[in-house]
Structure 1
Amino acid sequence: MLPLVVVGVDGSAESLAAAQWAAREAVRRERPLRLLHAWNWHPSRQESGIDNAAQRHLARRVLREAEDRVRAEYPGVQVSAEQVEGPAIGALVKAADEADLLVLGSRGLSGFTGFLVGSVALGVVAGASRPVVLVRAGEEAADEHLPADDGAASIRTGYRDVVLGVDVGEPCDEVIEFAFEAARLRHARLRAVHAWHAPGPLGLGPGDIALVDEPRQADEWLGFLKAVLRVWHDKYPEVEVLETVVQDKPSNVLVRAATGASLLVVGHRLAQRSVGPRTGPTTHAAIHHVGCPVAVVPHG
């Protein structure tokens, strides 16, 4: 059986946008799509059968709404729906670990029906061993594409850039490969970005880069970035790559670079699981401040 694209839905505008993005990704990857709704059941509280029946009915309604929208817009997608009883983070992490990728709304409802609140999404990103894509409310198919010649939104034009954040000091194959594959599937340009800063007096940096004047340091960093990506150029010769280095904090660089992109790809170190549901500062900034879909790819 082919690995699934899984999307968590809770009835919010964010999760419906995530479901439609996930359907488009399922088409691109030629994968089945599974809609997943999780609701908490607390048997220790001795809830009445009426309460549980109401939750199940609500879950069916949430799934049916998402499924109807997906089938109406993407009739060729193979869709299934599932409701799970239990803590949302655990259910979604398990689903992510068994999927090609998991898609979530980046914001969601709180209260009775919602589970894709910020803490849950961050918990899933921090705990999943497979890529998680976060999608904001209002994301539409045309947002992934370049505007038409007259400036109007279109789904018939080429895709906007896929943006990849690269740390040339610790490049991660899983993150880079995901970005190249995303660009290949979209026939899009890949814009690889590295943020650098002038080394302090206690650390010269790779190749004693601080020994050269500051204008030339950017050229040195660009050379490092090109070297890191050289093998990936060979693996994906059909992908056009634009390498860029910028002197600034990584979070600032990625937020700016993702403006007008179809997708931003960042990494998350799995070792950070040990400190709880947290992400690094760059990934955290991307999740909270980038408007386009953000793919968080775990790595060792």
Structure 2
Amino acid sequence: MGDKAARREVRGMKHLVTVGVDGSPESRAAAVWGAKEASLREVPLRLVHVIDWPISPAVPRLDCDTAGRWADEALAAALEDVRRRHPHLEITTRYLSGRPAAALAVEAAGADLLVLGSRSLGSLLGFLVGTVGTATLVATETPVTLVRVADVPEDADPNRYGEMIVGVDIHEAPDKVLAFAFEEAARRSCALRAIHSWKLPRAYRSFPNVDPDNEREAGRSVAKMLDELLEPWRRKFPSVNVDQVALMGPAGPHLVQASADADLVVVGRHLRRSPLGAHLGPVAHAVLHHAAAPVAVVAHS
């Protein structure tokens, strides 16, 4: 099966990229990134502004008309920036009233991808993921990408794409995560590095002096499992140059380190809910807060 046929197979029936905008530099960067993504996918772009209504009593003078003007200004600024860069892209705008996370999650349900802006904590610290971003991530099954201003440099070559990173757990069923990552890499004609992190079984870790031969054998076994997991995706996407690596230790730090040279990092999160509600999981949480590249979070069972 060729790459185009594979992309049609995994894309499904939704054909839209949605971006949440609020007038901030971060959300405008998200709009630019999302427009580039929509252009790659050859689908329309939708820019959405959510008016947090009812307005807090702490802002008594902010009435519906004022909030509406703010929405219009935020959408107009993002629209102008995007159209300047992508004059032929189909773009729609809309604004909604309600709690932002809930409204964005509803909008995401009708899209292939939701893109949100996030503040940067610096090149070594990654993202400042606020309550809206976190709540939206766990409220939708649609893939969500977080983007910072630094991720959209003005002088970047719009047709050049660097390496992508995908975190893979060979003990799960990561089909949705791998489908997203391979499809993105095929669109960009860029290399994909699949990273799996592993630990020695608890029985081995209880002994202070583990035989190095056992550790090496375990590493070879994990690498073989990773290779077997990726093989069907290599056949489905023959144009994607895939590099795989199995590293001992926690997944989060390995993915964060690899993100320094990447254009996009793809991680999964479980749809399972804890007694306290849905959550991102430790790997996605670590990558979101420390990665040096845009991060796509893909929900899976």
- Which residue number corresponds to residue 48 of structure 2? 36
Structure 2 alignment gaps of length 5 or more: 1-12, 121-127
SS at match of 1:130: coil
Cα RMSD, aligned residues only: 2.6
- Which residue number corresponds to residue 196 of structure 1? 198
Tell me if 1:51 matches 2:51: no
Structure 1 position 215, deviation (Å)? 2.3
Judge conservation of contact 2:251–2:283 (CA < 8 Å) in 1: yes
SS at match of 2:273: helix
- Which residue number corresponds to residue 91 of structure 2? 79
SS at match of 1:41: coil
Structure 1 alignment gaps of length 5 or more: 109-115, 143-152, 205-209
Q: Which of 12, 18, 26 is residue 6 of structure 1 equivalent to?
A: 18
Separation in 1, partners of 2:152, 2:242 = 25
Distance 1:211 1:291, change over 3 A: closer
Distance 1:215 1:57, change over 3 A: same
Separation in 2, partners of 1:87, 1:287 = 23
Tell me if 1:161 matches 2:173: no
After superposition, the C-alpha distances for 1:73-120 in whole angstroms (9 at most, x for unaligned) are 111111111110110011100011110100001239xxxxxxx96111
Query: Which structure 2 residues correspond to residues 84-99 of structure 1 after superposition, within 5 A?
Result: 84-99=96-111
Judge conservation of contact 1:136–1:291 (CA < 8 Å) in 2: no
Distance 1:132 1:53, change over 3 A: same
Judge conservation of contact 2:129–2:288 (CA < 8 Å) in 1: no
TM-score, normalised on structure 1? 0.85
Judge conservation of contact 1:13–1:137 (CA < 8 Å) in 2: yes
Separation in 2, partners of 1:56, 1:88 = 15
Structure 1 position 226, deviation (Å)? 0.3
Separation in 1, partners of 2:91, 2:275 = 35
Separation in 1, partners of 2:274, 2:72 = 33
Separation in 1, partners of 2:144, 2:270 = 13
SS at match of 1:253: helix
Judge conservation of contact 1:41–1:85 (CA < 8 Å) in 2: yes
Judge conservation of contact 2:259–2:291 (CA < 8 Å) in 1: yes
SS at match of 1:237: coil
Q: Which of 44, 51, 60 is residue 72 of structure 2 equivalent to?
A: 60
Distance 1:273 1:11, change over 3 A: farther
Separation in 2, partners of 1:236, 1:199 = 33
Structure 1 position 250, deviation (Å)? 0.7
- Which residue number corresponds to residue 146 of structure 1? none
After superposition, the C-alpha distances for 1:195-247 in whole angstroms (9 at most, x for unaligned) are 0112121799xxxxx99521232222110100111111111111111010111
Tell me if 1:287 matches 2:299: no
Tell me if 1:185 matches 2:187: yes
Tell me if 1:120 matches 2:132: yes
Structure 1 position 187, deviation (Å)? 0.3
Distance 1:257 1:236, change over 3 A: same
SS at match of 1:138: helix
Distance 1:11 1:200, change over 3 A: same
Separation in 2, partners of 1:141, 1:118 = 23
Distance 1:245 1:121, change over 3 A: same
Tell me if 1:233 matches 2:234: yes
Query: Which structure 2 residues correspond to residues 210-289 of structure 1 after superposition, within 5 A?
Result: 213-272=214-273, 275-289=276-290
- Which residue number corresponds to residue 149 of structure 1? none
TM-score, normalised on structure 2? 0.85
Identical-pair percentage: 38
After superposition, the C-alpha distances for 1:126-162 in whole angstroms (9 at most, x for unaligned) are 11111000001222267xxxxxxxxxx6517742111
Matched length: 277
Distance 1:103 1:220, change over 3 A: same
- Which residue number corresponds to residue 113 of structure 1? none
